[in-house]
Structure 1
Amino acid sequence: MHTPVLPLLTVYTREGCHLCMEMQQELSLLQQRYSFTVEYIDIDNDVDLKQRYNTRVPVLAVGETELCYYFLETESVEAYFRTL
């Protein structure tokens, strides 16, 4: 039997970021409605990511596509799930 692969959402974050913690909580609630996996990546551990996202964290992305930053835009995430 084939196990379905869940969509992977990536949150670019940094330690001590209150907006990042808020987005994490909101994504946890959203997981009650949609099945997906979340990967959290600390941008301060990668020079390229820090340069790319420095003042815009948190950034929610699917692959190279950014869905939103600073705040969870539920409409953007739901629009993404409608495309699956």
Structure 2
Amino acid sequence: MIPPTATAIGGGFDQQLARKEETMGLDDRVESAADKVKGKAKEAAGKITDDKNLEAEGKMDQAKGKLKDAVEDVKDAVRKD
């Protein structure tokens, strides 16, 4: 059941849901970009200090960010259909 306030405020439940999904997608995209930047920094710091663990951690953070991007791409493709 759709709450009565959902249709009275914001133009309907479907529109509210669509805006929420767009916001969540944007938040996830920002988070994935942050993971990739953080990973680049860790990888560079690991190379400079010859810390293989930090370098590997940086590469993992970058991979995590790329995976989040791929998930968002799939979500976007599903939403368009």
Normalising by structure 1, we get a TM-score of 0.26
Structure showing greater Rg: 2
Greater percentage in strand? 1
